[in-house]
Structure 1
Amino acid sequence: MAIEKDVLDRLLAGRDPGEVFARGGLLDDLKKALSERILNAELDAHLDGERGEDGGAARPANRRNGTSQKTVLTGTSKVRLDIPRDRAGTFDPQLIAKYQRCFPDFDDKIISM
């Protein structure tokens, strides 16, 4: 997968080239954005799956219930993520499991997705 040149130009606009790979730079911003997008998609799939299992049961449907912050130690940096929650507490993220704080292969996993 190639990223279009104009997208890269927009991401790099106004940034100091020396800070792109530094802690808190563009690379860390991209890790955070991609991770949170994946986690939100996981929750969407989880909630859709529960709706299918219910079959219109009388109990209220499970739904989103905000986020909680988690700091994940990757191989190169610390990334603070907003992990989505569901009201019933049944969502167990696959990308970064509950209670997982250290993720040394994080960079490789995100890049492969």
Structure 2
Amino acid sequence: MRNSFRYAARQDWDAISRGLKPVYQAATVEQAEERFLEFGEQWGAKYPAIVRLWENAWAEFVPFLQFDREIRRIVCTTNAIESVNARIRKAVKARGHFPNEQAALKCVYLAVMALDPTGKGRARWTQRWKQALNAFDITFDGRLSAARR
């Protein structure tokens, strides 16, 4: 998506996003191809570089469609992940030096716990991520829960 916006005017970003959303949310490869053809008909004349970009990257995109819808939603929503990473980087950068690995892990733990000091976000987190965690555990054959046994 981000690479697509590089070739488009800012005023068209929302419309392009709405046009591409059915492509990456399609249940099957055939549906994705149909939605992409519709997108190409709508935007191909104005932004042929976007259509060519998706056509060139189609082979890398198709395996993404094999994952469950919940996994794809998590992969596509990078804002939450990037926010956590930024907070961790900020905490580590402010601390600077760690005497050992345990001290570094404690700093990361405290940074993550400080994301939600009231504890109310945990309910929102579980509502959003539980389905994805279940899908990850099934798709990757229990590797997610193996450490908890």
- Report the TM-score when normalising by structure 1: 0.37
Report the structure, 1 or 2, having the larger helix content: 2
Larger radius of gyration: 2
Report the structure, 1 or 2, having the larger strand content: 1
- Report the TM-score when normalising by structure 2: 0.31
